[in-house]
Chain A
Amino acid sequence: MLKIVNLEAGYGPMQVLWKISLNAEEGNVTALLGPNGAGKSTTLMSTLGSIKPWGGEIYFEGKDVTTLPSHKKVEMGMTLVPEGRHVFPNLTVRENILMGAYTKRASKLMKESLDLIYTLFPILKERPGQKAGTLSGGQQQMLTIARSLMTRPKFLMLDEPSQGLAPKLVGEVFETIQKVQSDMGLTVLLVEQNVDITLEVAKYVYILHEGTIKAEGTSDTIKHSEDVRVAYLGI
């Protein structure tokens, strides 16, 4: 579904990604693991077009989308749940969710998407009029995921959804992600630092370190590869 070939990107004079290639297979969860500063977020942001790639190609459903601006990619069915909790703080929960249906394609499916979201996230149905900024951390993370689903993506990128959450909530968020993924038949590219839970959820894993892909394989292979675990995952 998504194929990245020799992607290079950076900020100003500083190059962050050095010819990375990866493949997110349709209907699966693919994960990108690595320490701080490895280039995980940069990979996601250049895939969506928030930053311009310096080189390489990005293919979405076989089409070259390397230089397309983000809003066009969202219209095509890609989206990203950015790192940190990017809710619209002064809008209500309901307004936040409805903003997700912003693109023309998504707004046509808005009613149907809303029913779907409310069954998946009952907590959001309970407090439609509450300001999003006053939700708890876990609820805000749920809201950003719900809102991204309103864009009706085929391909969803998640940037460290476990960040800053209590361990119990991390479990809940990942359960939700898994449920959503299988219910909606999504293709997911997950960026994480939480190794254990990622290896549980993902089918295929890439290890990113210092801007290059150091290892890749199915979750089981990575789990059992002594070298990879010691060198890059610290477990």
Chain B
Amino acid sequence: MNKGKYYPLFVAIGIFLVLFIFGKFAQGMWEPVALIMFYVAVGEAFNVFLGFTGYVNFGYVVFMGLGSYGMALVVSSSSMAGLGPWILIPGFLFAAIMAGILAAGVGAIALRLRGAYFAIATIGVNQGVKFFIEGAKIWGGSEGIIISKPLKVALGPHLANAVTTFWADFLVFMIAILAAVITIVFLHTRLGYGLIALREDEDAARVMGVNTTKYKNIAFLVSSILAALVGATAWCLKTTYVFPDDVFALSYTVDAIVIVMMGGTGTLLGPVVGGLIYGILKYWLGILLPGFQLLILAPFIIIIIILFPEGIVGVLKKRVRGKKLEKFIA
């Protein structure tokens, strides 16, 4: 039964590889591919929590935002400039720690709530953090942090340029792979079984001896830290600035929800498929029909959800049950 349980991971990595090669070598394709990968990574990270617990974290973007702040604070601190390119390591660490601390705190309180109550509580966290940064004027307040200069100082102008145009996107690929690996590990371990049981019925999971509180918190923490890594890379390093209005925009949470639902919650390949469709539509609709993209995107998403109520991969998984393809889809 467990033979080939990691095959779906190879499918995901295969898709990433094709995307990467296509983006790298086809003229002018790097930008759309980077956008698609950003959405895939956002979806995979979000799915670690939503897919395994059934809880919707509306405050998801706050962890992406804090992650980008974490990276920006490290890069812009003069005491670390001597590290050269190694500065990115404490940058990622700090991003993860900041998101981790907030996730542990929020989880300990908000995860006592269930379903819709949890969702409402988490919206407040995002707005709270944003207004706190702006109101208390910490970390540049509403003006944010611009790291283009310190990044050049630390990495040298040549490498700094390469980071913003290529390496930041490449790291997003890596984070997407990391999130996919975590997902497949979850799918096949005691922790994952416990989470799936609690997603299905929390009271029943508890009487089976699942430590529901602990597991929910672990999934929440892991998902939040992955989000912080995505934020630190795709926002801070790529754009070289962090503005509170941008990095705490609720719309990114909505993007994540749509990607995961469209692709299939709790599946490994769901966020990949969802991110692909979402990224492609968003990018090309924006070019072909500027101003009309939402008008087309919204009904399109509604149609997909009607046709594939369990997400595209969720429905596909049922179709291939008992066939050879089965072990490649999860």
Give A contacts to B, CB under 8 Å: 48, 50, 69-71, 74-75, 79-82, 86-91, 99-100, 102-103, 106, 144, 147-148, 151
Q: Are B208 and A100 in contact (CB under 8 A)?
A: yes
- Assuming the contacts A91-B196, A102-B194, A102-B197, asked whether A86 and B211 have C-beta atoms less than 8 A apart, the reply is no
CA distance A74 to B209 in the complex (A): 5
Q: Which of B184-240 contact A (CB under 8 A)?
A: 190, 193-194, 196-197, 200-201, 203-212
Q: Are A70 and B194 in contact (CB under 8 A)?
A: no
Interface residue from B190, B194, B209, B211 paired with A151 (Cβ < 8 Å):
B209
- Shortest C-beta distance, A148 to chain B (Å), equals 7
- Assuming the contacts A99-B197, A102-B194, A102-B197, asked whether A82 and B204 have C-beta atoms less than 8 A apart, the reply is yes
Q: Are B203 and A82 in contact (CB under 8 A)?
A: yes
For the A-B complex with A70-B206, A71-B209, A88-B197 known, give 20 more contacts whose Cβ atoms are closer than 8 Å: A48-B207, A69-B211, A71-B206, A71-B210, A74-B207, A74-B208, A74-B209, A79-B207, A81-B207, A82-B207, A86-B204, A88-B200, A89-B201, A91-B196, A91-B197, A99-B193, A102-B193, A103-B208, A147-B208, A151-B208
* Chain A, Cβ-Cβ closest to B321: A129
List, sorted by A's number, 27 A–B pairs whose CB atoms are closer than 8 Å. Answer: A48-B206, A71-B206, A71-B209, A71-B210, A71-B211, A71-B212, A74-B207, A74-B209, A75-B209, A80-B207, A82-B207, A86-B203, A86-B204, A87-B201, A87-B204, A88-B197, A89-B200, A99-B197, A102-B193, A102-B209, A102-B210, A106-B209, A147-B208, A148-B207, A148-B208, A151-B208, A151-B209
A-B pairs, top 5 by smallest CB distance, nearest first, are A74-B209, A88-B200, A86-B204, A103-B209, A71-B211
Q: Which of B41-99 contact A (CB under 8 A)?
A: none
Tally B residues with Cβ within 8 Å of A.
17
Q: Are B208 and A99 in contact (CB under 8 A)?
A: yes
Give B contacts to A, CB under 8 Å: 190, 193-194, 196-197, 200-201, 203-212
Contacts of A81 in B (CB 8 A): 207
- Shortest C-beta distance, B218 to chain A (Å), equals 14
CA distance A90 to B309 in the complex (A): 14
Contacts of B203 in A (CB 8 A): 50, 82, 86
- Shortest C-beta distance, A78 to chain B (Å), equals 9
- Shortest C-beta distance, B215 to chain A (Å), equals 10
* Chain A, Cβ-Cβ closest to B215: A71
Contacts of B207 in A (CB 8 A): 48, 70, 74, 79-82, 86, 148, 151
- Assuming the contacts A99-B193, A102-B193, asked whether A86 and B209 have C-beta atoms less than 8 A apart, the reply is no
Contacts of A148 in B (CB 8 A): 207-208
